[in-house]
Amino acid sequence: MTDGRAVSRAYRASADSAACTAVVGMQWGDEGKGKVVDLLAAEHDATVRYNGGANAGHSVVVGGERFALHLVPSGILHPGCRAIIGNGVAVDPFKLSEELDGLSARGVDTSRLVLSSRAHVVTPYHKVIDEYREDRLAGDGGRAIGTTKRGIGPCYSDKAQRSSAIRAGDLVNRDRLVGKLELARRFDTALADAEPVEAVASKLHEVGQRLEAHIEDTTYLIHGMLGEGKSVLFEGGNATLLDVDHGTYPYVTSSVCSVLGIPAGTGVPGAMLTRVVGVVKAYSTRVGAGPMPTELHDQTGELIRKRGREFGTTTGRPRRCGWLDLVALRYSAMINGVTELAVMLLDVLETVEPLKVCVAYEIDGERTDRFVPDAAELERAVPVYETLEPLGDGVAEARTLEALPKAARAYLDRICEVAQAPLGLVSVGPDRSQTLRLTERAHV
Ligand code: GDP
Ligand code: IMO
Ligand code: MG
């Protein structure tokens, strides 16, 4: 008979020696998580998505070639790395299938992609509902959230509602699909003119059969890897300030995007995380509606948008741009327990003058350094700025910290001081090679 305690001890010993790294966005998304995951995936055995869905758009640039990943974990570009979509992800199976085809056509081995049988499925009905609600909210005094219209909110609503929700494991069972879709139609007026159930069920069943070989129980898969001492990298979709619990509600997405989503979205306890990399863009951007205290409506905002090519990877929408918000950053660092920072797109600020960072808010005449995640309250926050020395030329060309202009190093110091975390990496351009690696550890 197996000694359960001995097995458990052995498991803990190897699991403890395995690296469990999280890469998480500290702002409103598009911080450059894809680039960081791609860099770190080289030293991990698997990359795991735990939240969100095809609302995410993660770019990786390798030798001038650009990849935009939406559902497939960014580690797929490394031949030795498993790419796992955990149970917490909202999966549009048609988008996933399309993305896999696109990657295969570019020579990427996609057989390493594994999809949790318990991941929830975004159906064509969810997209209809998302669009229906957004269009009506927009016409109703401009109250739309500005979603990506990828069906994310309706899918997670169904998950919580339970009765009509579909999980990846259901895709191969046509009768079950018909039953669930009929329920969805019965309860939602937005679906009155939507495609008939039989047609939608057939399409889902067909794509389910294509994906079947990828579908399995990912919780056991990940724990099996950890038990063998393998290292796993968790890739956050969206970002902390879009987190449904801790973000600028209601202008958020519908999943737990911070590292707090990892346990629920994969079945791996948070205590197993050994390293949390907080990805920070050197300034702020936001897509969609909702408060953004440091937003710039002037030429500096335009300059940042142009230099940073700030247009959405998923929807192509222009991103709102503004100064770095250190109040928000301190809050995100706290929520995620970051152990190091990756500061991205520093090159974009090279010619920006004057250069400002927000160090506090004034709300109803009171100064505070606390972030206020309630959207209505944050709308009233007036940023208090500190003006810093312009970064100077040569940021994009630097490959070591020492080669950066002095003012750029001071800017990074200020960020680390506020976030109370050391610098792990600085990015000065989109390509893998345009990176300053700062820690001694082999995997950075
Ligand atoms: P993600 O969603 O967090 O993965 O970020 P996105 O891929 O949506 O947006 C980040 C954009 O910035 C992409 O176009 C990247 O190629 C680009 N990028 C990443 N790092 C840098 C950098 O250091 N400098 C510049 N100029 N662009 C970068
Ligand atoms: P990555 O992973 C930027 C935003 C949308 C919208 C809000 C709700 O690329 O950083 P949803 O479709 O999720 O219901 O939209 O959240 N949003 C993102 N913004 N980057 C993302 O992902 C985002 N994912 C969602 O613009 O304001
Ligand atoms: Mg993005």
Q: Which helix (H) or strand (E) holds 285?
A: strand 284-286
Active site residue 223: no
* pLDDT tens for each residue of 305-317: 999 999 987 888 9
> Residue 66: what pLDDT?
96
> Residue 140: what pLDDT?
81
Peptide bond into 250 cis (omega under 30): yes
Q: Do 119 and 91 contact (CB within 8 A), yes or no? A: yes
* pLDDT tens for each residue of 29-79: 999 999 999 999 999 999 999 999 999 999 999 989 999 999 999 999 999
Torsion of CA 359, 390, 322, 26, to 10 degrees: -60
**Alpha carbon distance 172, 168 (integer Å):** 8
First to last CA, the chain: 43
Residues whose CB is less than 8 angstroms from the CB of residue 23 and which lie 6 or more positions away in sequence, other chains included = 33, 36, 37, 40, 233, 234, 235, 236, 277, 279, 342
The mean pLDDT values, 10 residues at a time, for the chain of 444 residues are 45 59 98 98 97 97 95 96 98 98 98 98 98 94 93 98 98 98 96 97 98 98 97 98 98 98 98 97 97 98 97 89 98 98 98 96 97 97 98 96 97 96 97 85 38
Regarding the beta carbon of 25 and ligand 2, being less than 6 Å apart is answered: yes
What residues pack around ion ligand 3 (CB closer than 5 A)?
A: 30, 57, 313
The pTM of this model reads 0.95
> Residue 17: what pLDDT?
53
Q: Do 328 and 360 contact (CB within 8 A), yes or no? A: no
> Residue 248: what pLDDT?
98
The maximal CA–CA distance of the chain, rounded, in angstroms, is 72
DSSP letter at 436 equals E
**Alpha carbon distance 378, 387 (integer Å):** 22
CA 31 to ligand 2 center in whole angstroms: 12
Please return the burial class of 442, using the count of CB atoms within 10 Å of its CB with bins 0-12, 13-18 and 19+: exposed
Q: Do 376 and 311 contact (CB within 8 A), yes or no? A: no
> Residue 438: what pLDDT?
85
> Residue 18: what pLDDT?
65
Regarding the beta carbon of 236 and ligand 2, being less than 6 Å apart is answered: no
> Residue 7: what pLDDT?
43
Per-residue exposure over 10-30, b if at least 16 CB sit within 10 Å of its own CB, e if not: eeeeebeebbbbbbbbbbbbb
**What phi and psi values does residue 267 have, to the nearest 5 degrees?**
85, 10
DSSP for 257-281?
Answer: -STTHHHHHHS--GGG--EEEEEEE
As a 3-state breakdown, the chain gives helix, strand, coil percent values, each rounded to 5, of 40, 20, 40
**Alpha carbon distance 26, 82 (integer Å):** 25
**What phi and psi values does residue 184 have, to the nearest 5 degrees?**
-55, -45
CA 313 to ligand 3 center in whole angstroms: 6
Which ligand sits nearest to residue 375's alpha carbon? 2
- CA-nearest residue for atom 12, ligand 1, is 32
Active site residue 30: yes
CA 336 to ligand 2 center in whole angstroms: 19
Active-site option among 44, 58, 126, 246: 58
Specify the ligand 1 atom closest to the Cα of 427: 23
Residue 401, both tokens: 């910290």
From residue 117, alpha-carbon distances to 32, 148, 167, 435 in Å are 29, 25, 7, 37
